[in-house]
Chain A
Amino acid sequence: MKLRLFFAIILSICLSQKKGIGQNLIFNLSFDNQSFRLGENYFSKTWNDSFSISTIRFYISNISLIKSNQIIYKFPKKEYLVDFENQQNISIPFTNTNSYDAIRFSIGIDSVTNVNSEMSDDLDPIYGMYWTWQSGFINWKIEGNCPSISTRNHLFQYHIGGYQFPYNTLQTIQLPLTTDTKDVNLTLNLDQFLITNELKNTFEIMSPGNKAVELSQSFKKIFDLQNEK
């Protein structure tokens, strides 16, 4: 598992070196202090059961680098789809020459984009991140399996979105960077996700509403910054 992560980093370094001063925002999954892979079984003490996750897909938007609370660099695209089923999507290249002390980003799609965007590129509804029965993007999706839950095929499915008041699920996160590093490594700590209170009795959320808002607030806590050593 560590080997895979190692290769991912090596690959991204190689790719970035090819472009000269290019850097990468790299996403990793972690659980129980180890890297986590989709489709494999893990044991959760919180759930007291084994579980696996088949899908982790989310939109990250308005990514910017911050220096003394001022935006000094904005990522080239407004929105990126991060999909752990597709390895290519775990690294976002950027080119910045100034020093920075924090990264700021939103998880999800803002209301302007929800209503007005060109629905192509990462926003193509083909990725299953747009609700069809009502207007709006799904900000993030986590799907998996846990034998002790009583849903059909023991599936849990969280499709979190909603941009209209009072059910706006867009969450903005700012994380401090202690050292000025080349790549920025963002880790999704799934331990944090599994201890989320809202998950205790609810295994299916697939529309905007209170539960989606609560879960979106918990979800932002799973992002952790690992500065490259």
Chain B
Amino acid sequence: MIFGFLILFACSKGSYKISYPKNYPKPIYNFKQNPLKKDIIAIGKALFYDPILSADSSISCASCHSPYNAFAHSDHTLSHGIRDQIGNRNAPALMNLAWQKSFMWDGAIVRLDAQALAPISHPKEMGSTIEQVVMKLNRSEIYRKLFWKAFEDSIVTSSEVMKSLAQFQLTFVSFNSKYDSVQNGLAKFSPQEINGYKLFLKNCNGCHKEPLFSTYDFENNGLSVDTTLNDKGKFTISLQSNDSLKFKIPSLRNLSYSFPYMHDGRFRSLQQVLNHYVKGIHASPTLSNILQNGIALTSNEKVDIIAFLLTLNDKNFIFNKNISFPKKN
């Protein structure tokens, strides 16, 4: 950890508190409803990396959300799950979840505590059910011990499983990038990064608002419709025409690790992404107001913006042992 005052600190009775820099807003997750506890986070970690959650015990959360990819799916446009079935979307990176009001590219999930039900029961992801998962966990002596320790409950329940998974994922807080060091007066941007930062604030900050680098709202960013998927984004859930083609705005933190980009992973490089905003905007009725005329950037400006975006990489987060693959005993 770089900043002393940011170090996660443990409170009494094994309770836990996530920490974050002063310039971060207050988290919106309701911690009162699911108070963080070390023992519960430990169960969440065990479950997150355990393929026991899938029907044939082949796929874990980490299969598509690898810590080394900022919890996205390494180098896959569309993610694949059980029996190598390919899904419809690119697995999003997982970080700073306590600041997000909805989850999934289309915002289908409005509470983190219920999110895990989606991949567990999706036929192309884990192909299981929460009943099966709870049954399997109740058969496992190791898990029963862990749940007993954390919840003082001799029977594993679905609500405990969901809470544990949510708690572990809430500890995925990224705030140790070069950008953060600069904000805290501990480092300086290069002239190129400064210029990139200025361009970013002028052109990108409306949706990818610092310091989280997203408003976590939904926008249509002018991607042409991939007719092999016909993914309408938020419309799929809300059935409101003004939500058509709108997707959740992703954070720009840890971009170097979480490629490829966009809900369908269509862009492999940041250069491609910027080219899209400069000359690839596809007009449609729900196109974001900000993007009506695209973004005007010269080649040099694009290079500078990318230099700035790379300062959002957080190696401490990517290689944080507390949230990475558990050590094999």
Query: What residues make up the interface of A, taking CB atoms closer than 8 Å to B?
Result: 115-116, 118-120, 124-126, 130, 132-135, 164, 167, 208-210
Interface size on B, residues (CB 8 A): 23
**CB-CB nearest in chain A for B116:** A132
Question: Provided the pairs A115-B110, A134-B108, A135-B109 are in contact, do residues A164 and B238 lie with their beta carbons within 8 angstroms?
Answer: yes
Question: Provided the pairs A133-B118, A134-B237 are in contact, do residues A119 and B113 lie with their beta carbons within 8 angstroms?
Answer: yes
Partner of A116, one of B33, B162, B237: B33
| Interchain CA distance A126-B135 in the complex, whole Å | 11
Q: B111 on the interface (CB 8 Å rule)? A: yes
Chain A neighbourhood of B239, CB < 8 A: 167, 208-210
| Interchain CA distance A130-B130 in the complex, whole Å | 11
Q: Is chain B's binding surface mostly helix, strand, loop or mixed? A: helix
Question: Provided the pairs A124-B157, A135-B111 are in contact, do residues A130 and B117 lie with their beta carbons within 8 angstroms?
Answer: yes
What are 21 A-B interface contacts by the 8 Å CB criterion?
A116-B111, A119-B113, A119-B114, A119-B159, A119-B162, A124-B157, A124-B159, A125-B114, A126-B131, A126-B134, A130-B117, A132-B121, A133-B108, A133-B118, A134-B108, A134-B237, A135-B108, A135-B111, A135-B114, A167-B239, A210-B239
Query: What residues make up the interface of B, taking CB atoms closer than 8 Å to A?
Result: 30, 33, 108-111, 113-114, 117-118, 120-122, 130-131, 134, 157-159, 162, 237-239
Question: Provided the pairs A116-B30, A164-B238, A167-B239 are in contact, do residues A130 and B114 lie with their beta carbons within 8 angstroms?
Answer: yes
On whether the beta carbons of B117 and A115 are closer than 8 Å, the reply is no
**CB-CB nearest in chain A for B239:** A209
Partner of A115, one of B111, B118, B120: B111
Chain B neighbourhood of A116, CB < 8 A: 30, 33, 111
Chain A neighbourhood of B109, CB < 8 A: 134-135
On whether the beta carbons of B108 and A118 are closer than 8 Å, the reply is no
| Interchain CA distance A164-B110 in the complex, whole Å | 11
**CB-CB nearest in chain B for A121:** B159
On whether the beta carbons of A120 and B120 are closer than 8 Å, the reply is no
**CB-CB nearest in chain A for B102:** A135
**CB-CB nearest in chain A for B133:** A126
Question: Provided the pairs A116-B30, A134-B109, A135-B114 are in contact, do residues A126 and B122 lie with their beta carbons within 8 angstroms?
Answer: no
Chain A neighbourhood of B237, CB < 8 A: 134
| Interchain CA distance A183-B158 in the complex, whole Å | 34
Partner of B158, one of A124, A134, A164, A208: A124
**CB-CB nearest in chain B for A162:** B239
Q: Report the minimum CB–CB distance from B44 to chain A (whole Å).
A: 16
Q: Report the minimum CB–CB distance from B31 to chain A (whole Å).
A: 13
Given contacts A119-B113, A120-B157, A120-B158, list 18 more A-B pairs with CB under 8 A: A115-B110, A115-B111, A118-B33, A124-B157, A124-B159, A125-B117, A125-B158, A126-B130, A126-B134, A126-B158, A132-B117, A132-B120, A132-B121, A132-B122, A134-B237, A135-B108, A208-B239, A209-B239
The 4 closest A-B pairs by CB, nearest first: A134-B108, A120-B159, A132-B117, A132-B121
Chain A neighbourhood of B117, CB < 8 A: 125, 130, 132
